[in-house]
Amino acid sequence: MKQFFAHLMAKWNLVLLPAILKFGVLGAGAVALMDSSTIPVPMDLLIAGWVWKDQGRFWLYCVMAALGSAIGGLLPYMLGRAGGELFLLKRVNRKKFDALRVRFEKQEFLAVAIPSALPPPTPWKLFVFAAGVFEIPIWVFMVSVFCGRLVRWLILSLLVLKLGPGAVTIVERHALGAFIVVVGLAALGFGWWWMAKRKSGGLDTSR
């Protein structure tokens, strides 16, 4: 099995990756759109390849990929908006569903931007689907995805420029730790906001 995956990665690096890299800046947007809407693509690996090949325009690849990701994300977002509530209610009870709704309504931007900034294995499409279910405004959704993805790929690009294409491996190796840290910070921020609102009388706790 290990040899099979090694052979697959070799094919990817020697055949598929060079072919995709030829699309340049426009290819970054197109592939990101495909990745966020339908077919999963190792975007971090591709961004690293583009940036390493064309270092002077690294920022342009990040912008185009972030834009493509924001546009492509509209498909799972619209699916969630069209009938996702029933889908979620089959998997969580009403109390948990309402709690999720409150979190998304209170922190619309961060609820999408933070998952968009995190590398795999973050379940990004699940957050995008939920954004549609809880009817986050489209413009907020697209700006959140764009900003989150832009931050993610700018950081990756700077690491690639500093350390080389192998920076992708470093990011993936520490992805879970980064996810836990960011989620923990978000929980602390929400707890601080809730306590502040409660002390100021702006939060009704009698229900």
* CA separation for the pair 98, 95 (Å, rounded): 5
Neighbours of 149 (CB within 10 A): 27
Exposure string for 135-147, b = 16+ CB within 10 A, e = fewer:
bbeeeebbbbbbb
Tens-place pLDDT, residues 66-100: 999 999 999 999 999 988 788 777 777 788 788 77
Chain mean position to CA 96:
23
pLDDT in tens, 34-72: 899 988 888 888 898 889 888 999 999 999 999 999 999
Predicted TM-score (pTM) above 0.85: no
The tokens describing 86, both together, are 């029933």
**Longest CA–CA separation in the chain, Å:** 63
3-state DSSP assignment of residue 88? helix
Residue 167 · residue 48 · CB < 8 Å: yes
- So what's the pLDDT on residue 72? 96
